[in-house]
Amino acid sequence: MDNKRAGFVGLGLMGQPMAQNLVRAGWDITAWNRSDGPLRGLVALGASAAPDIAALRDLPIIAFMLPDLSYIEEASEGLLASWAETPPAAGTTVVVMSSVSPAKVKDFGRRVQHASQGRAVVVDAPVSGGTKGATDGTLAIMAGGSPEDFRRLEPFLAAMGTTVRHMGPLGSGSLAKACNQLIVGTTTAALAEAAELAERSGMDPAALFDVLAGGLAGSRVLESVGPRLVRKDYTPTGPAKFMHKDLSFVLESAQAAGSAVPMATAGVELYAELKRQGLGDQDLAVVRQAISQLSDATADSAMKGTVHEWTF
């Protein structure tokens, strides 16, 4: 892409380093963020600050990295109203980089197309790799949109990730991310369960994970989250509550496809329990604490001679 200009909305734990990598790769970034601190840091690197999101209307790419689609829809109201009055240039691309509903992002795409009189399109391009991947520029990015829209957007995405793939039409990127979260969420929960079982049985969880890493149970999830599970370090790299949201998208997609998802169903229930315990703002590894508290309930029931039935 010759015209390396883009807007970026949302400079949180993931968005800030992603936008920084765009600037370092030579992109002329105009950013907007609700709080000034991250924005000032990005401007210091050479980006520009937008007074509001509607001010991004004439940029060829406008990327959103906000917690969910509802935030993006609310944030883009002024932008769409501006386009309704004066349509943007043909080929303007709105990039949804958050984890969102595959079905609802299609609805958003239709809204954007209608408001822009067919001149703007939506590409969903959620990411995986956590804050480390965002900082290192090694994210996996899964994109949904037309092949032409993806090719036009690929250099922008490649500045933030090393694995960039076109997954199919709009909504396919979000479905791929939902599948990613199915694996990450349930694997993290299984590791947390194993760590808690090992420790309560008198075994060192660190030794357990070390031997697991050398066998078939070894995985990138174990490598990344395992040390935090062992240390019980729940400092947020991404709030655990978002896993409940993401696994809910798996159930939504499975219902539409007629596919059974027993692991996702159990995962949704477990992460809902985690939120009920008030742990949702901590790191994903805090699922171990949620399981620990469930274990305490089991032990208490056993001491009383009763059977504890889980009512997630």
Tens digit of each residue's pLDDT (9 = 90 or more) over 227-241: 999 999 999 988 999
Segment 256-260 shows an average pLDDT of 97
Segment 125-150 shows an average pLDDT of 97
Rounded to whole angstroms, the Cα distance separating 97 from 120 reads 16
Predicted local confidence at residue 146, as pLDDT: 97
Segment 120-134 shows an average pLDDT of 96
Confidence of residue 307 (pLDDT cuts 50, 70, 90): very low
5-169 and 175-303, same CATH topology: no
Q: Examine the pLDDT at 2 and tell me if it is beyond 90.
A: no
CATH assignment of 5-169, given 1.10.630.10, 3.40.718.10, 1.10.3720.10, 3.40.50.720? 3.40.50.720
Segment 29-58 shows an average pLDDT of 96
Assigned token pair, 99? 């984890």
Rounded to whole angstroms, the Cα distance separating 20 from 16 reads 6
Predicted local confidence at residue 309, as pLDDT: 54
Task: Concatenate the DSSP letters of all residues of 147-216 into one string.
Answer: HHHHHHHHHHHHTTEEEEEEEESTTHHHHHHHHHHHHHHHHHHHHHHHHHHHHHTT--HHHHHHHHHTST
Q: Examine the pLDDT at 284 and tell me if it is beyond 60.
A: yes
Q: Examine the pLDDT at 310 and tell me if it is beyond 60.
A: no
Predicted local confidence at residue 312, as pLDDT: 52
Segment 117-135 shows an average pLDDT of 96
Rounded to whole angstroms, the Cα distance separating 46 from 13 reads 19
Confidence of residue 302 (pLDDT cuts 50, 70, 90): low
pTM, full prediction: 0.91
Class (C level, CATH) for 175-303: mainly alpha
Rounded to whole angstroms, the Cα distance separating 51 from 56 reads 9
Predicted local confidence at residue 237, as pLDDT: 87
Under a CB-based contact definition with an 8 Å cutoff, are residues 7 and 50 in contact?
yes
Segment 33-39 shows an average pLDDT of 94
Polymer length of the chain: 312
Q: Where are the beta strands (DSSP E) in the chain?
A: 5-9, 28-32, 48-49, 61-64, 92-96, 120-124, 127-128, 139-144, 161-168
Q: Examine the pLDDT at 259 and tell me if it is beyond 50.
A: yes
> Packing angle between helix 172-200 and helix 205-213, nearest 10 degrees?
130
Rounded to whole angstroms, the Cα distance separating 81 from 85 reads 7
Kindly list the domain boundaries of the chain, sorted by start residue: 5-169, 175-303
Rounded to whole angstroms, the Cα distance separating 179 from 189 reads 15
- Give the mean pLDDT of the chain: 95
Q: Examine the pLDDT at 105 and tell me if it is beyond 70.
A: yes
Tokens 């049985």 correspond to 201
Q: What is the pLDDT of residues 170-198, one digit of tens each?
A: 999 999 999 999 999 999 999 999 999 99
Pairing of strands 28-32, 161-168: unpaired
Predicted local confidence at residue 300, as pLDDT: 75
Q: What is the DSSP letter of 284?
A: G
Amino acid (one-letter) located at 232? K
User: Based on the number of CB atoms within 10 Å of its own CB, is 153 exposed (0-12), middle (13-18) or buried (19 or more)?
Assistant: buried
Predicted local confidence at residue 3, as pLDDT: 84
State percent of the chain over pLDDT 90.
93
